[in-house]
Amino acid sequence: MFGDFFSRALIAGIGLAAVTGPLGCFVIWRRMSYFGDTMAHSALLGVALAMLLSVNVTLGVFVVAAMVAGALLVLQRQNTLSVDALLGILSHATLAVGLVLVGFLTTVRIDLMGFLFGDILAVSVDDIIIIYAGGAAILLMLILNWRPLLASTVSPELAEAEGLRPEVSRVILMLLMACVIAISMKLVGVLLITSLLIIPAATARRLSATPEMMALVASGLGMIAVVGGLFGSRTWDTASGPSIVVMALVLFLLSLLVPAGRLFGRKEHNGA
C-alpha cells in the first residue's frame, strides 16, 4: 500500500486538491485572498508554539490560525482600521513572531525551508490519513453549509433576512480555511498554500457557468496541477511544491485562451 514516496505524494496531493478547489472558490468570491495569506503566514507561528509546547504540529497550526481568524473578527468590529491594514498587521506579525520563536528553539532542529515551501515527496502514510480524514470532514461541512455560505457570499443582507446568519457562515469558512492550512502545510508549505487555493479556483471561474460547477472544476484543475507539477518536478529535478503552483499557473494562462464560461457552461456566472 502506497509503495514509494512518489505514489504517496500523488495520492496526498490529489486528496488536498479535492478540498482546496471548492474552498478556494469561496476565497475568490469573497475576495479573501489576502486573508488566506494571513492564515498561511500564521502557520509558522503555530509550528513554533507546537514545538515549544511539545504538541502535535498540525493541531498547533490549526489553533493558531483559528485564533488569528478570531482576532480579525474582533478587531474588525472596533472599526479603527481598514480590513486590509488589519490583515497586513496580522500577517507580518505572526510570521515574524514565528521566526523569532524558531530562533529560540536551539534544542530542536526545524526544517524552516520545508515548512515555508513544503516537501510533498516526504509525505508519510500517516500524513495521507490526516489529509483524507480532514479533507472529508472539510468537504462534508462545505456541503452541509453550502446554501448559507453561498447566500451570505452573494448578499449578507438577504441571507440575514432569510435567517441564515451570515456571521456564523463567515466563522465556519474561516475555521475550514484554518483546517486546510493545517493539513496542507507539510505538502506545499505556508508560502504556497494560498496559491493552491486561489489559482485553480480563479481558472475554474473562467470556465464554469454555475457556482457548483466552478467548485468541481476547481478541484479537477487542482488535481491536474498536482499530477503535472509532480511529474515535472521528477523530470526536471525542481522543487515539488513550487512546481505544482507553476503547473496551476500554466493552466490559468491556458484558460485565458478559452472564451469565458464556454467550456462547462454557456455563459459566465457573475460573482458567486
What is the distance between the terminal CA atoms of the chain, rounded to a whole angstrom? 40
For CA atoms 103, 176, 241, 203, give the dihedral sign: negative
Query: What are the tens digits of pLDDT across the range 79-90?
Result: 788 888 988 999
Choose the weakest-confidence range: 85-89, 183-187, 212-216, 250-254: 183-187
Mean pLDDT on 159-176: 89
pLDDT band at 180 (very low <50, low <70, confident <90, very high): very high
Q: Report which residue type is found at 102.
A: V
Q: What is the mean pLDDT of residues 52-70?
A: 91
**Residue-wise pLDDT tens digits, 5-50:** 899 999 999 999 999 999 999 999 998 888 888 988 898 899 989 9
Indicate the pLDDT class of residue 262, thresholds 50, 70 and 90. Answer: low
Residue 260 — pLDDT band, cuts 50, 70, 90?
low
| Helices 240-255 and 193-207, packing angle to 10 deg | 20
Highest mean pLDDT among 40-49, 93-102, 218-227: 218-227
Q: Cβ atoms within 10 A of the Cβ of 58, count?
A: 23
Question: According to the model, what pLDDT value does residue 67 have?
Answer: 93
Average pLDDT, the chain: 88
267-to-12, 168, 220, 232 alpha-carbon distances in Å: 34, 32, 20, 33
Distance CA 38, CA 87 (A): 6
Cα angle: 202, vertex 208, 214; to 5 degrees: 60
Lowest-pLDDT range of 83-92, 158-167, 226-235: 158-167
* HSE, side-chain direction, 13 A CA sphere, residue 168: 10
Measured CA distances, 183 to 97, 105, 133, 199 (Å): 21, 23, 10, 19
Q: What is the pLDDT of residue 40?
A: 85
Fold of 5-188: ABC transporter involved in vitamin B12 uptake, BtuC (1.10.3470)
The whole-angstrom separation of Cα 35 and Cα 183 is 18
Mean pLDDT for 187-216 is 90
Task: Supply 155's cell numbers.
Answer: 448578499
Confidence of residue 61 (pLDDT cuts 50, 70, 90): very high
Query: Would you give the DSSP letter of residue 192?
Result: T
What is the pLDDT, as a whole number, of residue 266? 45
Interatomic CA distance for residues 42 and 134, integer angstroms = 19
| Whole-prediction pTM | 0.90
Domain boundaries of the chain, sorted by first residue: 5-188
Residue 91 burial (CB < 10 Å; 0-12/13-18/19+)? Answer: buried
Can you tell me the mean pLDDT for 212-234?
Answer: 96
